[in-house]
Amino acid sequence: MQRKQLWRLFCSVVILAAMCLAALVLAGSHWRSPLYWILVLGFLGSAFWFGSELVKLRKGTIRYVAKMNSLIDRTMDNAPEHMPVPLVILNARHEVLWYNESFADCISGGADLFGQPLQSTIPLRPDAVEDGETVELDLYDRHYLVSRTDYERKSGHAELFCFQDITNYANLRRTYMDSRPCVLMIVIDNFEDLFSGTRQSERALVLASLETLFDKLLEGTNSVFCHLDDDRFMIITEVRYCIEMERAHFPLLDEARKILVKGRTSLTLSIGVGRSGTNIAQNEHYAQQSLDMALGRGGDQAAIKTESGFTFYGGVSKGIEHRNKAKNRAVARELHKLMMRCSHVYIMGHRASDLDAVGAAVGVAFIAEQTGIPYNIVIRTQTTLASLLTDRIEQEMPGCMISPDTARERISDTDLLVIVDTFSKDIVEDAELYQLARHVVVIDHHRQMVNYLDNTTLKLHDPYASSAAELVTGMIQFLDFRDQMPQFCAEALLAGIMLDTKNFIMQTGVHTFEVAAFLRERGADPIAVKTLFAESLDAYRHRSKLVSEAELHGRFAIAMEEEELPDIRIIASQAADELLGVEGVAASFVVYPSGGQACVSARSLGKMNVQIIMEQLGGGGHQIMAATQRRDVTVQQLRSMLIEVLYETEAKLQAAQQTAAEQNAEPQKG
């Protein structure tokens, strides 16, 4: 119809133009001719025809537009109702006003939802999705991309939610993520010392048992296993299998611990996992970093490199003491060379320094003195817990101790900073001084934490050592100096060892007694050392009060002091030590305020790893001795958090023991 109208309009225009042209030609000389007037009449008739065709075309166009609008309106009215995408409209109170057939079939299951809150039907809080944003939702074995669009009308506020089914895409994405390569680096802890003196046949039997565990672990998986060395292995597997190991808390650690060497010593493994990299090479690098972290924390555990840091599993055994002195000798000589090349040595411990940190600093100062290099011990004497020892230092070594402010003003690029008794950036005596130092040496025995000192030129880190003072004394043994160690230096080092070993009861090994004997030979007087542990009568009373008011929560003893007392850090640590003597107590905790912080001092006899517990509260430390300092909570809140963590830890341990018992019972039934 439209084409005919356009054709008639075109013909009228042509005839009109022809009549007009002819009339103009005859208008000059033949205007009186009948032909001229016939042309004029034809022009007027064609003009009338053209006008009538324009009117008809306009009416047809309006009629067509009206029909199309009506058709579109009917389509739009019915389209949302029959669209394959689920849609739902809510009011300002998140109540359902309208939904289409797809929503009823796929989401609500055909139930009548008008006037009901959306959250009562599906596990989605409407305010969790902002206007114009999207979230993913798993619902009835399908995966949806939920979007929200807000509308403001005179009648009120309305929210349109669209549920786009992306199940196929989600499954493809999950398959890709699960099949990505993952690298596990595994090492036998302290291999040389573990198999020292064993027969070759016994070693082969133990390694064969270990390989059987690996075969069992990788059975039915798409994995590659290879030997890197006698004590090092690498597994390349898919992320899905690594996640299964992680959910099971790496049962390989527990199974390996059942293998005995020499009939009495358990074999332990350290595992480093890299699975967040973009390729195998990057995951191998992450796995090595994770392995270094696991070894730095004492071994017998798995560490996983994540985007936010590290995640740890295991770490329940005490570990095996290192008796190989080659590393200590090499580090001692390298430290001596570094001191020879520097112009000044600064020695620093951790905040609220104790006898171990200060004693180790005195030992390093002796090494610097024998090297002939100027030195200073950087310490805040107002906050130290070893005030009796610092008083002795002021007498024996006048001018040796300086404040961190003074050290920051003096330090240069040619100076050396030696940090003792800590591996954490968070608790060094002065973090700014560490940042200014170009050459840094770390000597520490604590298990490595995530935020560790990474800008180091040289480090001696042995979590099996009893104390930093033991490590420093071991280094002095390997250095030939012109002068004998003075008695004061020997007593300072012995005091540090006695503090961390609780008078040679905790965390002691063969080398601990060797260095103690060495210090005794250098004139260390146990009676003089004992005086460095002296305390006031008020401190003794407060400690006794803490111990007497402690509460038992299962195998854990918890004491709390709400008032900030003088020397509260010393009192709390001593009270925690005494609580270990209570029958049935596996770990003790003292919660107290200090310097505007809520603190916890934790101790154990080795059966419970208090480092892992303190890490869950934001602290760290060693397996038998750890602590936490928090500024964001009160003492009461920190105590409640501690109790909650302890119950969760105990529940996980009982669940793991029950699972292990069930697994052991299945073969017996078979």
CA-nearest of 175, 171, 149 to 160 is 149
Rounded to 5 degrees, what angle do the CA atoms 614, 616, 618 make? 70
Residue 551 has pLDDT above 80, yes or no: yes
Pairing outcome for strands 260-261 and 265-266: antiparallel
Rounded to an integer, what distance in angstroms lies between the CA atom of residue 507 and that of residue 611?
14
Pairing outcome for strands 556-560 and 260-261: unpaired
CA-nearest of 181, 182, 179, 178 to 271 is 182
Neighbours of 169 (CB within 10 A): 12
Rounded to an integer, what distance in angstroms lies between the CA atom of residue 165 and that of residue 163?
6
Place of tokens 């509460």: 551
What the block records as the tokens of 1 is 């119809």
Rounded to an integer, what distance in angstroms lies between the CA atom of residue 45 and that of residue 35?
15
Residue 74 has pLDDT above 60, yes or no: no
- % residues pLDDT > 90 (the chain): 19
Place of tokens 């053209």: 50
pLDDT tens for 242-284 read: 888 888 888 888 888 888 887 777 888 889 999 888 888 999 9
Tell me which of 94-98, 211-215, 344-348 is least confident: 94-98
Residues 6+ apart with CB under 8 A from 84: 102
Rounded to an integer, what distance in angstroms lies between the CA atom of residue 75 and that of residue 84?
15
DSSP-derived letter for residue 376 is E
**Residues 614/449, Cβ–Cβ less than 8 Å:** no
Residue 570 has pLDDT above 90, yes or no: no
Q: What is the pTM of this model?
A: 0.58
What the block records as the tokens of 276 is 């967040």
Rounded to an integer, what distance in angstroms lies between the CA atom of residue 47 and that of residue 65?
27
Q: What is the mean pLDDT of the chain?
A: 82
Rounded to an integer, what distance in angstroms lies between the CA atom of residue 33 and that of residue 401?
131
Between 538 and 524, residue with greater pLDDT:
524
CA-nearest of 245, 221, 238 to 176 is 238
Rounded to an integer, what distance in angstroms lies between the CA atom of residue 249 and that of residue 649?
13
Sheet with strand 597-604: strands edge to edge: 551-553, 556-560, 587-594, 597-604, 625-630, 620-621
What the block records as the tokens of 406 is 């003074």
Report CA-CA distances (Å) from 664 to 213, 314, 632, 658, 661: 15, 20, 45, 10, 5
Residue 670 has pLDDT above 50, yes or no: no
Between 566 and 35, residue with greater pLDDT:
566
The SS3 assignment for 250 reads coil
pLDDT at 317: 55
